[in-house]
Structure 1
Amino acid sequence: MGSRERRMVFVTVGTTCFDALVKAVDSDEVKEALLHKGYTDLLIQMGRGTYTPSKVSGNSTLQVDYFSFSPSIACYIKKASLVISHAGSGSIFETLRLRKPLIVVVNEDLMDNHQSELAEELADRKHLFCACPQTLQETVEAMDMNNLLPYMPGDAKQVVTLINKFLGFQVD
């Protein structure tokens, strides 16, 4: 493994408790699927969850580590070859802005989950892959990075100009 390129998967649940995602990514099946796709490291940010993932990866050589919180996850996203995230808009857009491949896992236990609508829309537009904890293994196995399209944030200048004009501010 010495000369093999390190490819890290970063998992984030943000500040929430999303044990179902942590358990899913901690399963031997998901770990094997990640290893089969060429990933070497798995780093899990587990938030307020109570489930503690295993640092042992079954029969595989996937290196696993975890932590609860960090002041910023940007550095982990930058280092990642793949991000697996909860459906929080901050985590989604930060990952897309950094042009990292992304699997968004929707928390189906949340009532009136508007986050799933965002994740599903962005998946329909081919900016990311969308899963639930029960389908994460299949999503990893089926994902093809060549099918993803870069996310291009919109230019808010026109909206700002219209708002300023409406409010009577001088527009340059």
Structure 2
Amino acid sequence: MDSVDGSKNSKRVVFVTVGTTLFDALVRAVDAPEFKQDLYAKGYTHLLIQIGRGSYIPTRSTGDDGSLAVEYFTFSSSIAESLRSASLVISHAGSGSIFETLRLRKPLIVVVNEDLMDNHQAELAEELAERKHLFCAHPQTLHQTLTSMNIDFLLPYPAGDAKPVAKLINKFLGFPED
């Protein structure tokens, strides 16, 4: 896992992804001035936000004034490079985004979209948070999660072993454990 050393000399990117959904609440939360100030205070230098289908447009910043540089885009054919270059990922609760980020061993905050019906994604995120593989938040608790998190306590997700995922899926579907 990357650790934040407070150094402002190297580029430390926070990548935010909403996937293909509309998740303006997440984009608004990361665009809040206090949130961006706390990211910068933790040693992050850049905020890259994938806004998807959302209508909320975050405030761009070059960072030349000694603050966080902020950029955004709607969609990309691949977010793989953004994930690889990130020091911290803040993601919607889509399983693809979650497991791709965990596979890359990037610190991850998953933000649950409460507007989705039958939100099984929230159960997955909460279970992985209990196992200390990621942090789980809601748009209104994201700032608190950022300020209280210690990424040094996250445990790597066991790569290549599908059994934990299969057990989680079976649990959510109501199948008995073996």
Relative to the length of structure 1, the TM-score reads 0.85
- The match for 2:21 is 16
1:20-64 superposed Cα distances (whole Å, 9 cap, x missing partner): 00000000111011111110000000001011000147x861000
- In structure 2, do the counterparts of structure 1 residues 60 and 132 end up closer, same or farther at CA, with 3 Å as the change threshold? farther
Gaps of 5+ in 1: 158-172
Match of 1:161 in 2: none
Aligned to 2:147: 141
**Which of 71, 91, 112 lines up with 1:106 in the alignment?**
112
Q: Kindly tell me the number of residue pairs found equivalent between the two proteins.
A: 154
Are the aligned partners of 1:35 and 1:60 in contact in 2 as well (CA < 8 Å)? no
**Matches of 2:159 and 2:46 in 1, distance apart?**
30
Could you tell me which of 15, 19, 36 is aligned with 1:31? Answer: 36
The reply to whether residue 70 of structure 1 matches residue 55 of structure 2 is: no
Q: Quote the offset at 1:155 in angstroms.
A: 3.2
Contact 2:37 2:67 in 1 (8 A): no
Q: Distance in 1 between matches of 2:27 and 2:104?
A: 23
State the structure with more CA Rg. Answer: 1
Question: How far apart in 1 are the matches of 2:75 and 2:130?
Answer: 31
| Deviation beyond 2 Å, 4+ runs, structure 1 | 153-157
- Asked whether the equivalents of residues 16 and 47 of structure 1 are also in contact (C-alpha less than 8 Å), the reply is yes
Structure 2 residue aligned with 1:128, among 119, 126, 134? Answer: 134
